[in-house]
Amino acid sequence: MNKITQFFHLCSGASLSVINRYPTERSKYAGIGATVFFTGIFATLASGYAFFTVFNSWVTASIIGVIWGLMIFNLDRFIVSSMRKTGDYRKDWLLALPRIILAILIAISISKPLELKIFEKEISNELVLMQQELRKEQENAVKNRYENIINLLESHNSSLKGEVEEKVKQRDILESEAIKEADGTGGTKQRNAGPIYKIKRQLADKSQIELDSLQRLNKQLVSSNTKKIDSLNLLTTSEIARFQNLEYNGMAARMEAMSRITKKSSVVGLAGTFIFLLFIAVECSPIFVKLMSTKGPYDDRLRLHESKSHLLVTEQLGNEKSDLRKKSMKLEKEEQDWVKNEIDLSV
């Protein structure tokens, strides 16, 4: 138990040689040190999970999480150990205000990853919806990119087929007129194949030749357009399939999902707020404990030690300046004035 207490004293940043002289102060600084230690543990776990969602590797997340936790631990230890109790609560709180703001920023970085972990199931369900919405938007974007080209090609095919159908109608009409002229049911009403029949026969044969030529040309164009359409459809399908293979579960996506869940459910939002406030309380607790604790003999001893150190330094500087003035008396008047001016500026 004694070793654990000493370890927590080290965590609080207290001087072991001083605090061992005052048994009444040991429990207070052991509590402060324990709070600093467990805050570092929370920071390690939270950052480890956060980096695992980024790198998807427990080894990498563990290494970075430990480094982050040690940094938070060292920072908290510095914040607590650098605070001095003056006995004036107002002055103490004003001195601690910048440190409290920094502690709140640290608490935000700690609480957010754990908040994502606590609501992991809800976030996973929301991510599925978000991924479906994203895929739908991506599919529509890909389809819209090629839709105009496909529509133009299909319209061209319809136009080509329409030209052939129109030419077939013309050919059928000319063929019908030639037949009627030959059997006497139309035209001149004469059954003999006279010159008029020959003219109509030539027109019908010419129309058939033109139809055959148009069918060959348009068939080639339709085939080419159809291949282009099939190629664009295949390209569209492959791009959509590539989107479907992408994972959508990064840190930014999870935070966006958490934001959407909070907007949908006031209960989740309230729970998230309480989690955030809890970690602010945990992170600020070493500072609050230090501020709320009464000024004890440990603080007096540190203040006395720092005062003695300051007086000693001041005395040494004064002696050095005095010796310098005495030595300068042997110099010329201008040099004495320059030395005196330099000494006055250094005060």
3-state secondary structure 11-75: HHCCCHHHHCCCHHHHHHHHHHHHHHHHHHHHHHHHHHHHHHHHHCCHHHHHHHHHHHHHHHHHH
What mean pLDDT do residues 93-122 have? Answer: 76
The two tokens of residue 92 are 């103490």
Sequence-ordered alpha helix ranges (H) in the chain: 2-12, 16-19, 23-55, 58-82, 89-118, 120-183, 195-244, 251-264, 266-292, 297-328, 333-345
Length of the chain in terms of residues written: 347
pLDDT band at residue 231 using 50, 70 and 90 as cut-offs? confident
Residue 329 has pLDDT above 70, yes or no: no
pLDDT band at residue 294 using 50, 70 and 90 as cut-offs? low
Q: Which sequence spans correspond to the domains of the chain?
A: 2-118+265-294, 124-250, 296-347
CA-nearest of 73, 93, 14 to 296 is 14
CATH class of the domain at 124-250: mainly alpha
Residue 282 has pLDDT above 70, yes or no: yes
The pTM (predicted TM-score) of the whole model is: 0.52
The better pLDDT of the pair 222, 177 is held by 222
For residues 306-325, b (16+ Cβ closer than 10 Å) or e, as one string? Answer: eeeeeeeeeeeeeeebeeee
Residue 192 has pLDDT above 60, yes or no: no
The better pLDDT of the pair 305, 214 is held by 214
Residue 309 has pLDDT above 80, yes or no: no
pLDDT band at residue 244 using 50, 70 and 90 as cut-offs? low
**Residue 163 CB coordination number (10 Å):** 15
